[in-house]
A and B are shown apart, each in its own frame.
Chain A
Amino acid sequence: MAPASGGKDGLVSIPALLDRNAETFATKAAYREKEFGIWQTWTWSDTREEIRNLARGLIDMGVEKGDFIAIIGSNRPHLYWSMVAAQMVGAVPVPVYQDSAADEMAYVLDHCGARFVIAEDQEQVDKVVEVQERLHQFEHLVYLDPRGLRKYDHSQLHDYRQVQQTGHDLRDKLNPELERRQSAIAYDDTCVMLYTSGTTGKPKGVVLSNRNIIETSIASSEFDSLSTGEEVLAYLPMAWVGDFIFSIGQAYWTGFCVNCPESEDTLITDLREIGPTYYFAPPRVFETQLTTVMIRMEDSTRFKKWLFDRCMAHARKVGGDILDGRPVGFGDRLKYRLGDLFIYGPLKNTLGLSRVRVGYTAGEAIGPEIFSFYRSLGINLKQLYGQTEAGVFITQQPDGEVRADTVGVPSPGVEVRIADNGEVFYRSPGVFVEYYKNPESTASTKDSEGWVATGDAGFFEPDTGHLRIIDRAKDVGKMADGSMFAPKYVENKLKFYPNILEAVVFGSGRDRCCAFINIDLSAVGNWAERNNIAYSSYQELAGHPQVMATIQEHVEEANASIAEDEMLSGCQVHRFLILHKELDADDGEMTRTRKVRRGMIADKYDDLITALYDGSNEVSTRTEVTYEDGRKGYISATLEIRDARVVPVATRKVAAE
């Protein structure tokens, strides 16, 4: 083992943790993957064998210390092993978003200068081959699924299993070299490089050291007392820092089992079969699940609907309190038990959430109704606030102190301060080393004392010590009359309605706010079906007068709720339109993690914004769209613009003057 230059018990790298796990938890399941309809299992000692075979194969292919190896694909045990094998031979794994277009992929591969790529299947191989000419450092590609690749030129292509076989055959010859490389890994060496999703500009390569990953994993595992017995379902992009911390950092530290779904489409079934105990999902997943449940309840019999509504009403009343361990009367407890027997239990089982002990959501604000729905069922869903640059955790909610509108208290080992302009800064052992080949950005994000700017504006609630995030600091602006403009705050209010999928609010520097709305096709589509309203496309449904009326009601309700907030009452939406297409990452309107790119949208739909502010009742437009295969097309539409009722705030203004 390497000299303990830090690290708990001399465990200074992921491969070192692997060695420990293969010894301590030898026969315990480390990975499961559903393949051919059956969950295949690898124990920790199997895993070590697989990874070492691959690592020796990589050495044989010529991987050197310090090389970058890009890993592209969905969550498969073999691809997780690639990351650890890369670390074992002294290389740096760079997981890449699998749905990125060839050009985006080219940028990342070129920027890190990857000599090797490990790709899942033909789809990914094709993308790499397409941009290969532009990648001067690229040498070899290893693919996992040989299907369809038989006829490809194999001078640079290698079958994953063949590489492993070579590593197996050359074990005696290459073991000394492998041992030498693994023992040379230091605590402050790079563990992984992750590219930020790039809400603005080009993606940046965030370098995280072994120290960052391991210390963050230890602290966060202890925070929620995670144990070897946890089961997680790995389905979020491998290129996202959260997945790296959950499925590798915490999994290797505590030795719990990572389960990989059969395919993207079987996720719900797989979730139900595994029944994870530790679960992470962005708010969107919870929203979609809740929408599905509600739609199905609408379609069920009247008795079932009545029973469901009654039980849920009771759950909303006492469920959260029971979960938080607050005192609840005996009668209410008994009723809750009954509800659990008939409704909550089966429902949780259907959702695949029966066994969840710790659940997290993050990335975006979650609707209070959605949040309390899950908590009232007895699912311990909490919020955390994090960033790639922090190795995820900045703040999180401890058990028993969970609320929808805050993101919790600073995570163990993290210091947080609020700057004068409201921006949140933090400092922790998880703070990234640097942005790769980008010292300017590193310097502008992290100061000499290690404080990192989050770019988010927020404040600590004085009585609870919980952090509340208002919006991106740069998006928080001033309206023409000088009152505060926080678009995200308004958009979230709107998005909490199941019928509204996305909203984009404009108003910075103007006298009033206006909004673009995207309807949720599954929710509105179901409503249309039940009311015998025929439609052939998203565009047609979005333009339906009754849909407009419903959305108008939502906007007006949201306005009423915004008006109650003293600071932000000026942000009420005066006029809105429903967009004729869904905002899409392929069109550059959203990031791959589905955050709206405000500037991009404002430029692209300039004509629509003009119409919102010049008082016209409708506007014709033509928009370029990109299809999944990269082809481009146009859609034309005439959109109706409506005025929404706002709650007058004049009194407050007068008082302020």
Chain B
Amino acid sequence: MLDQTEGYTTEDGRRIGGVVMEMRNITLRFGGVVAIKDISFDIREGEIRAIIGPNGAGKSSMLNVISGFYIPQEGEVLYKGAKRPQMKPYEVARQGIARTFQNIALFEGMTVLDNVMTGRLNHMKTNLFQQALWKGRAEKEEVENREVVEKVIDFLEIQNIRKTPVARLPYGLKKRVELARALAAEPSLLLLDEPMAGMNVEEKEDMSRFILDVNDEFGTTIALIEHDMGVVMDLSDRVVVMDYGQKIGDGTPDEVRSNQDVIDAYLGVAHD
């Protein structure tokens, strides 16, 4: 089924490439609590990879390991074939990894446009002094970056709120702005932490559409955490299922759906 080096072709004919990121026997502890226990899986180029599990399964911890925010006590993370050293968040961002947060981390007082512009920070080379003078290089750079940002704004259909301060937006739109900021960084790997949390059905449909379009249009590799099973199964190419810090399933949505351990974890097991 899966070829370790060559990748595979999805049902709808998308070509999935080689391994971008690999988790090898990751174990993460907080004091005596084992949040993640000996988990291995990989993320391949161009795929939508989901990590699901009931509450407290260790999904968010896993995402934080992927993003380099947590350093696992055991095991190693390989990014583009190389073992990843301990890094600061901005260094991770420079490597082409962008993320959104479960509980929205936007600059509330700034406009949507400014928020999305912050996503371009790593692509700007002028220094503070040049930017203060603004004329010349800094101006040219801002125009270039604004162009990228405007394309993202167009893509996510948020033109009408371009100049609106984020604090005035409803929750569903804030989530979209967060996605916009992550996209503005032109990431090669996009991490989404519960992108559908707290959304109504219509907003979920919109968000799913955007995630698929991002993957389709820009070929971005996407790893997402979600506990809404229905959404995940429709969206992802492969799914990792976690429960109590352990991996209990890994495979295509269909394989995962028919996995007895997964069914037990979600529906509970009868005590007899």
Contacts and interface: CB of A to CB of B under 8 A. Distances in A.
Interface in A259-305: 262-263, 265-266, 269
Nearest to B154: A36
B159 A266 contact: yes
B151 interface: yes
Nearest to A265: B160
A147 B147 contact: no
A631 to B, nearest CB: 11
Contacts of A269: 160, 163
A150 interface: yes
Contacts of A266: 159-160
Contacts of B146: 37
A633 interface: no
A173 B155 CA distance: 38
Given A262-B159, A263-B160, A265-B159, A151 B12 contact: yes
Nearest to B153: A37
Q: Identify which of A36, A38, A148, A151 gathers the most chain B CB atoms within 10 Å of its CB.
A: A36
A35 interface: yes
B216 interface: yes
A572 B155 CA distance: 53
Given A35-B154, A36-B150, A263-B157, A147 B213 contact: yes
Nearest to A264: B160
B151 A36 contact: yes
A148 B155 CA distance: 11
Nearest to A150: B216
B76 to A, nearest CB: 36
B12 A263 contact: no
Nearest to A146: B217
A148 B13 contact: no
A262 B161 CA distance: 12
Contacts of B204: none
Chain B, interface residues (CB within 8 Å), range: 10 to 19
Nearest to B212: A148
Interface in B47-77: none
Interface string B128-170: 0000000000000000001100110111010110110000000
A481 to B, nearest CB: 51
A263 B159 contact: yes
B150 A37 contact: yes
Interface string A16-42: 000000000000000000011110000
Contacts of B155: 147
Contacts of B153: 36-37
A37 B159 contact: yes
Contacts of A36: 147, 150-151, 153-154
Nearest to A148: B213
B150 A151 contact: no
Contacts of A262: 159
Q: Identify which of A35, A37, A263, A266 gathers the most chain B CB atoms within 10 Å of its CB.
A: A37
A24 to B, nearest CB: 34
A142 B162 CA distance: 30
Contacts of B157: 263
A151 B217 CA distance: 11
Interface string B203-236: 0000000000100110000000000000000000
Nearest to B113: A37
Contacts of B147: 36
A154 to B, nearest CB: 13
A176 B154 CA distance: 40
Contacts of B160: 263, 265-266, 269
A150 B150 CA distance: 22
Contacts of A151: 12-13, 216
A3 to B, nearest CB: 47
Nearest to B163: A269
A556 to B, nearest CB: 39
Contact of A148 (B159, B163, B216): B216
Nearest to A262: B159
Nearest to B213: A148
Interface string B38-50: 0000000000000
Interface string A228-269: 000000000000000000000000000000000011011001
A37 B155 CA distance: 12
Contacts of B163: 269
Nearest to A34: B159
A480 B73 CA distance: 90
A638 to B, nearest CB: 27
B47 to A, nearest CB: 15
A266 B159 CA distance: 7
A375 to B, nearest CB: 30
Nearest to A267: B160
A608 B213 CA distance: 46
Contacts of A147: 155, 213, 217
A395 to B, nearest CB: 37
Interface of B: 12-13, 146-147, 150-151, 153-155, 157, 159-160, 162-163, 213, 216-217
20 contacts: A35-B154, A36-B153, A36-B154, A37-B153, A37-B159, A38-B150, A147-B217, A148-B213, A148-B217, A150-B216, A150-B217, A151-B12, A151-B13, A151-B216, A262-B159, A263-B159, A265-B159, A266-B159, A266-B160, A269-B163
Given A263-B160, A266-B160, 20 more contacts: A35-B154, A36-B154, A37-B150, A37-B159, A37-B162, A147-B155, A147-B213, A147-B217, A148-B216, A150-B216, A150-B217, A151-B12, A151-B13, A151-B216, A262-B159, A265-B159, A265-B160, A266-B159, A269-B160, A269-B163
Q: Can you list the 7 inter-chain pairs with the closest CB atoms, starting with the nearest?
A: A265-B160, A36-B150, A37-B150, A266-B160, A262-B159, A266-B159, A263-B159
